Amino acid sequence: MRAGNPNDVLVVMGVCGAGKSAVAGRLAACLRGGLIEADDFHTDEARARMSRGEPLDDALRLPWLDRIGEATLARLRQGGPVVVACSALRRLYRDRLRGFVPSALFIHLNGDRELIAQRLDRREGHFVGRSLLDSQIEALEPLAQDEAGMVLDVAVPLDTLVGTVLRELGNAETPSLNSGPVGDDVAGRQN
């Protein structure tokens, strides 16, 4: 994968339960950057559908991606890097986000279905549950060779994942917080 601009935008992507919010939050803190949580940009209709276990169609998803892109640009204009936690499952969706920030670097959190399902079973207070996992896995299009990004295994501890990203970006800082595997410290907000 080709490298993106490390001082620009990182998009932490993957299926529900992969730990996007945990990794994005830690990266934003380590990089002293802004954090965009894509779930915050869903409409009430979209949240209701997902709460019922219904996947979103592009009529709901594309405007959502546009809202995320606009918010990312607005935050980027304030200075510093921006880290976005967003599923970005399909190339079309990643390209939509790249329409706002062409240099975005995508960090795909990938892992064993059963591990992710267990995390979803433990998650509380989130509108997306295990019922959407299989449809998201089916929709997932891995990063292509021409997409700036990296793929990381979510079975490793959160600090290891974040440290890997920071090293790839050329940032010598390593997170100092102790943590278990991704999601163990943020069961209510990971996805």
Query: pTM score, two decimals?
Result: 0.81
Residue 190 in domain: no
Residues with Cβ within 8 Å of residue 150, at least 6 apart in sequence: 1, 105, 106, 107, 108, 143, 164, 165, 168
In a domain, residue 182? The reply is: no
Q: Average pLDDT in the 119-132 region?
A: 61
Count of domains in the chain?
1
- The percentage of the chain sitting over the pLDDT mark of 70, rounded to a whole number, equals 80
Residue 184: inside a domain, yes or no? no
If you average pLDDT over residues 8-37, what whole number do you get? 92
pLDDT tier, 16 (very low <50, low <70, confident <90, very high otherwise): confident
Q: Flag whether 185 is in a domain.
A: no
- Cα separation, 168 vs 86, in Å, equals 20
pLDDT over threshold 90, residue 184: no
Two structure tokens written together for 81: 């890097």
CATH number at residue 18: 3.40.50.300
Tell me the pLDDT tens digit for each residue of 40-92: 998 888 778 877 777 778 888 899 999 999 999 999 999 889 999 999 999 99
Residue bearing the bigger pLDDT, 87 or 17: 87
Q: Which two tokens stand for residue 103?
A: 């240099």
Report the candidate in 10, 33, 5 with the shortest Cα–Cα distance to residue 103.
Answer: 5
pLDDT level of residue 173 (50, 70, 90 thresholds): very low
| C-alpha distances in Å from residue 153, one per residue of 9, 23, 95, 126, 164 | 21, 12, 23, 23, 11
Q: At what angle do helices 58-77 and 44-51 cross, to 10 degrees?
A: 120
Which DSSP letter does residue 77 get? Answer: H
Q: pLDDT tens for residues 155-167?
A: 899 899 999 999 9
Domain annotation covers residue 176: no
pLDDT computed for residue 54 by the predictor: 78
Owning domain of residue 129: 9-168
Angle at 106 between CA 156 and CA 31, to 5 degrees: 75
The predicted structure's pLDDT at residue 178: 32
Q: What is the dihedral of CA 89, 94, 100, 102, to 10 degrees?
A: 150
Q: Please state, rounded to an integer, the average pLDDT across all residues of the chain.
A: 80
Sign of CA dihedral 99, 105, 110, 116: negative
Higher pLDDT, 141 or 48: 141
Kindly indicate the confidence band of residue 128, based on its pLDDT and cuts at 50, 70 and 90: low
Residue 4 lies in a domain: no
> What's the confidence (pLDDT) of residue 34?
95
Helices 58-77 + 91-98 axis angle, to 10: 30
Confirm whether 186 is domain-assigned.
Answer: no
Q: Would you call 129 exposed, middle or buried from its count of C-beta atoms within 10 A (0-12, 13-18, 19+)? A: middle
- Note the pLDDT of residue 32: 92
